[in-house]
Amino acid sequence: MKNTKVIGMGKYLPEDVYTNDDMAKYMDTSDEWIQERTGIKERRFARKHKETTSTMGARAAEIAIERAGIEKKDIDFIIFATISPDYYFPGCGVLIQRELGMTEYEVGALDIRNQCSGFIYGLSVADQFIKTGMYKNILFVCSEMHSMGLDFSTSGRNVSVIFGDGAAAMVLQGTDDNDKGVLTTHLHSNGTHAEELAMINPGSHGGHYLGTEQYGYPDPDVLGGVFITQTMLDTTGQLAPNMNGQLVFKTAVKKFPEVIMEALNKTGYSPEDIDIFVPHQANLRISKFVQKVLKLPDEKLVSNIQKYGNTTAASIPIALCEAWEEGRVKDGDLVCLAAFGSGFTWASALIIW
C-alpha cells in the first residue's frame, strides 16, 4: 500500500492589505480591541471583480505543480476545499480545472465543504485515494474569498474582523517509502450547535428552521418561492456569517487537544515528539492555549493569523507552506495538523515530512 507524500506546495495572498485601523473606518472597533480578542493585526482582501476563489486557487496551484516537478497533464484528480465558492454551483473544482487550462484531460474534480476543517478532511480523502492506488498525483487546492460576503458594519464586526482571503495548494503523490508521508487522519463532527457558527441564508429551507420562529424567519409556505426576503435582509446574521464566539472558543479548546492526542495515541507518538504544530488559524488565543496544553515550545508552533486573519480551509496549508518556505519544516519532521470550525467539525493529521 502506498503512503501519501507532499511533493509540491504553493500559496497565494492578495496584494491588498487591510490593517485593523482600516477596519475601524467601517465599524466601531480598534486595533487594540481586535488584537486583544483574536491576535490579528491585518488581513488580505482580494480585488472584487478581478479575483475570485478559483483564480486565487489557480495561482497557488501553478506554484505547487512547478515545485512538484510535474506537468499539468500528470494530475489525475482535483480536490478543492472552500466555503466561499465563485458560484452557488457548480463548485470550484471544475472552475480551477478550466482556469489552469486542464479541461482537455477531463480528470475528476471533487469539492469539499467542511469549513475550517476542510483542509484536513480533503487531505484524508486524498490519502485514501492514493493509498488504494486509484490516483497517482492529486492536486489539492484550498482557497477562500471571505471579503465578498462579510458584514462590514458594526453589527457584523465580531465576525468580519477575523476573516481574510487567500489560497494554498499542494500536489500529493504515492510513495513506497514507509518512513514518509501521511501517517493518520482523524475526522469528527457534531451538528448540535450548527447554527452557532453559520451563514444561514440563502438556503433551501426558505428561512424556516425545524418549524419554529427561532431565527425570526417567516413561514416557508408564505414565501411563495422568493429566495431572499426582506426579513433576511433586515435580520443580522442571515445573509452574512454569524458566530457565538464564547461557545466556539469553549468547544475549540476542548476538541483541539482531544483530536491531537487521538492521532498521537494511534501512532505511538507523544506531544514532545512533534517537531512542527500547524493549527487552523482561527484565533491566536486558541492556538496558544493548545500549545500550553501540549507543552510545546514557541519554535514548534506555526502562527500567521497576525498577518492574514482566518482564511478557513486555506489557513493550514498557507501556514504550512510558509513554514516550509522559511525552512522550519525539514525532512523527517513529525508535522501535526489540527482544525476546528463550523458544523461543528474538527480533525487532526500527522505527517512525516
The residues carrying an active-site annotation are 116, 280, 310
* CA distance between the termini of the chain: 18
Preceding amide of 317 cis, omega within 30 = no
Residues in contact with 204: Cβ distance below 8 Å, sequence separation at least 6, in sequence order: none
Under a CB-based contact definition with an 8 Å cutoff, are residues 59 and 119 in contact?
Answer: no
Preceding amide of 249 cis, omega within 30 = no
Residues in contact with 255: Cβ distance below 8 Å, sequence separation at least 6, in sequence order: 188, 340, 344, 346
Whole-angstrom Cα distance, residue 45 to residue 23?
A: 12
Q: What is the DSSP letter of 97?
A: H
Under a CB-based contact definition with an 8 Å cutoff, are residues 243 and 213 in contact?
Answer: no
Task: Collapse the DSSP code of 197 into the 3-class scheme (helix H, G, I; strand E, B; otherwise coil) and give the result.
Answer: strand
